[in-house]
């Protein structure tokens, strides 16, 4: 039986891609990574894909005359692929509305904050600036807004003993690397259902998304 197929979009180091790859090496992993897509030809995540014999596609956004040309090229590449889910794991490009509509409920994003708090960039700096007691990461379905899609799940930690930007970043990565494979596995197993514009996990509705404690 063919496993659930995932495409992972990246722009940089790809540490969350690596966490997804590591999960696939477990015998009971319900998904496999079909392809890695990047807008950055220098992304180290492409090397991670190569090392693990995962195919990749590179569309350097700097080589396109406009955003619309890049978007069109991206859509054409994706149309060639067989997949069940697109995972945005550090993909630093805004997905266009037509693409989102075409693959509605088949695109998820990992965001480094406890959404709806701090959508967009510089989340770690904002946590430090505002002296937040908690920080974390969220996985959500992608819609046309900026990190506004329905939340599937999140994980958080206390910031009390974390005293620098780098340590905050490291702790966030630590929980991201557990959260993303967990949610991808649940989706692959059919345990995450998008119904009546709400998300259910194992048949249970969580108003703000399910909290995962690791």
- Residues 6 or more apart whose Cβ sits within 8 Å of residue 36: 7, 8, 9, 10, 14, 17, 45, 46, 48, 49, 54, 55, 56, 57
Q: How far apart are CA 209 and CA 207, in angstroms?
A: 6
For residues 67 and 78, what is the distance between their CA atoms, to the nearest angstrom? Answer: 17
Find where tokens 């990574």 sit: 33
Q: How many CA atoms lie within 13 A of 120 on its CB side?
A: 4
Are 34 and 184 in contact by the 8 Å Cβ rule? The answer is no
User: Residue 60: what are its φ and ψ, rounded to 5°?
Assistant: -70, 110
111 is catalytic: yes
| 135, 128 Cβ separation under 8 angstroms | no
Say whether 112 sits in a helix, a strand or coil.
coil
Pairing of strands 151-158, 210-211: parallel
Backbone angles phi, psi at 68, to 5 degrees: -65, -35
From 61, 111, 140, 177, the catalytic residue: 111
Catalytic residues: 111
């Amino acid at each position: 039986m063919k496993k659930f197929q995932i495409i992972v979009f990246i722009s940089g180091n790809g540490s969350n891609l690596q966490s997804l790859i590591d999960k696939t090496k477990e015998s009971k992993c319900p998904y496999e990574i079909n392809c890695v897509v990047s807008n950055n030809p220098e992304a180290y995540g492409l090397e991670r894909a190569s090392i693990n014999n995962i195919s990749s596609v590179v569309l350097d956004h700097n080589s396109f005359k406009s955003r619309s040309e890049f978007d069109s090229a991206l859509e054409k590449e994706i149309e060639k692929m067989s997949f069940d889910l697109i995972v945005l794991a550090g993909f630093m490009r805004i997905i266009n509305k037509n693409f989102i509509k075409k693959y509605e409920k088949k695109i998820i994003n990992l965001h480094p904050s406890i959404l709806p708090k701090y959508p967009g960039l510089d989340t770690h700096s904002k946590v430090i600036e505002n002296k937040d007691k908690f920080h974390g990461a969220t996985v959500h379905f992608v819609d046309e807004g900026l990190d506004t899609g329905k939340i599937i799940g999140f994980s958080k930690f206390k910031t009390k003993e974390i005293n620098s930007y780098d340590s905050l970043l490291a702790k966030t990565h630590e929980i991201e690397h557990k959260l993303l494979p967990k949610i991808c596995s649940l989706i692959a197993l059919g345990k995450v259902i998008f119904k009546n514009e709400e998300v259910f996990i194992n048949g249970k509705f969580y108003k703000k998304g399910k909290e995962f404690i690791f």
